[in-house]
Structures are given as structure tokens and as C-alpha cells.
């Protein structure tokens, strides 16, 4: 598992994909933070952290599929898939190595965004409860998105198809909460709110720790990692 993890991490930065992801993610989040927190603080207005978080989540819907699209699709295209399948490592370890490699790149970028809060400290005392909620909530939501991307990458050998397919699935997962308010049926609204990825993040915006939301995100990770393993188990014995 360690060898595959190291190989994946090297691939992210030898191909430049890791650098592109980090640069774009930090540029988007930095601009959003400046517009909706720093600018508001300098104008004497209340900062709009929930809107900032929404932009971060939307950026993940676009950027994380680009990070995960090569995970398995590239192996198929380069005809190196059989080498991995024949390697002396279990299929769960192989899938987890690729998952943790993508998660490491994303987690490192997310930690760098914590420095944005040092700017707010110049205009008052920042609420570190909200900071911790942001880090925990976004990290686990991003983990769920990565698991989805890994699974879809395992279904195709075309990286573009993997990226677009993952974006489409993530948009549906996020879009559920936005169409929920337009549904009149209370039962349907309740069900959609329960499965909504975005609504689960709501409490973290205000510094509240939501264990049920974390369990929900972890369940998504487990489910899609399990499905990815099943895809390769079927392929190994085909």
C-alpha cells in the first residue's frame, strides 16, 4: 500500500496535476475569502463566511474530479492496470492508497487556507470554533467527493469522461439542497434534506460539531471505496 501511495503522490507532482490543483484551489478560495470576509471587514460590515464556504464547496465540485480522474482511468489507458492487479497487495489496499494520495493533496491545500484567518485577526478576534468547523466539515465532505471520483475513474479509461462524470454526480449531490426549497411535499423535502451533502454541512458554518454529518460523509467514503474494490474484484476474476 505504501509503495502505491508513494507512486501516486509522485505522479501528481511529476505530471504537474498536483501543482495545478493547488494553485487553482488556493487562488479561488483566496479570492472568495478576500471578497466576502476581508472586504466586508474593512468596510465595517459583517463578514459572510457561509457564502465563502459555499464557493469553496462549489470549487471542490469542479476541482476534485480533476484530481481523481487519473486514478484508475490512466492505468487502463496506459495498459498498466494488470501490473497493479498482479501486485502483491490486496485490492482494498490498492484502492485506499489511491484514495489517500488524492486526499493528502487536498488536505494539504485545505490546511493552507487556515492562514486566511490571520487576516481577520487584524480586524477583531476570529471565532476559532468556526475555523475548526470549517476545516473538519470541508475535509470530510471533500473526502466523500474523492471517494466518488475514485469510483467513477474505475469505470472508464477516459480521464475526461471520469472528470465530467464525477462533476455531474457531485452536482446532483449538491443540487438536491437547492431544489429542495421549491418542493411542496414535506415528506420529500425531509428525505432530500436528509440525503443532501450540502445541508449536512450547515452546522459547521456556525462552528457546531455535527457527529451525524461526519458519520454520513464517512459512510459515503466507505460505500464508494467498497464499490471500487468490487469493480476490481470482478475485473480480476473476469
- Would you tell me how many other CB atoms lie within 10 Å of the CB of residue 132? 14
Q: Which residue has the cell 459583517?
A: 46
**Torsion 69-75-76-82 (CA) sign:** negative
* Cell triple for 70: 487519473
Measured CA to CA in angstroms, residue 118 lies from 123, 124, 131, 184, 206 at distances of 10, 10, 11, 43, 18
Mean pLDDT (whole number) for 22-38: 87
Predicted pLDDT at 200? 79
d(CA 162, CA 187): 34
Give this prediction's pTM.
0.89
pLDDT in tens, 153-195: 999 888 999 999 999 999 988 887 777 666 776 666 666 666 7
Among residues 74, 143, 68, 76, the alpha carbon closest in space to that of 98 is found at 68
Amino acid at each position: 500500500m505504501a509503495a502505491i501511495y508513494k507512486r501516486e503522490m509522485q505522479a501528481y507532482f511529476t505530471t504537474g496535476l498536483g501543482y495545478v490543483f493547488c494553485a487553482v484551489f488556493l487562488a479561488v478560495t483566496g479570492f472568495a475569502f478576500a471578497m466576502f470576509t476581508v472586504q466586508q471587514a474593512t468596510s465595517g460590515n459583517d463578514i459572510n463566511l457561509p457564502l465563502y464556504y459555499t464557493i469553496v464547496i462549489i470549487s471542490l465540485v469542479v476541482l476534485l474530479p480533476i484530481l481523481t480522474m487519473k486514478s484508475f482511468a490512466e492505468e487502463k489507458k496506459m495498459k498498466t492496470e494488470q501490473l497493479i492487479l498482479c501486485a502483491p497487495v490486496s485490492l482494498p489496499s490498492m484502492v485506499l492508497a489511491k484514495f489517500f494520495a488524492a486526499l493528502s493533496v487536498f488536505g494539504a491545500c485545505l490546511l493552507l487556507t487556515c492562514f486566511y484567518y490571520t487576516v481577520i485577526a487584524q480586524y477583531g478576534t476570529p471565532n476559532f470554533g468556526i475555523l475548526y468547523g470549517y476545516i473538519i466539515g470541508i475535509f470530510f465532505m471533500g473526502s466523500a467527493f474523492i471517494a466518488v471520483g475514485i469510483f467513477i475513474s474505475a469505470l472508464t479509461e477516459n480521464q475526461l469522461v471520469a472528470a465530467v462524470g464525477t462533476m455531474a454526480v457531485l452536482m446532483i449531490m449538491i443540487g438536491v439542497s437547492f431544489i429542495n426549497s421549491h418542493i411542496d411535499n414535506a415528506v420529500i423535502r425531509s428525505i432530500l434534506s436528509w440525503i443532501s451533502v450540502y445541508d449536512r454541512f450547515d452546522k459547521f458554518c456556525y462552528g457546531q460539531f455535527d457527529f451525524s454529518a461526519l458519520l454520513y460523509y464517512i459512510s459515503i467514503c466507505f460505500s464508494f471505496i467498497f464499490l471500487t474494490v468490487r469493480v476490481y474484484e470482478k475485473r480480476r476474476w473476469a
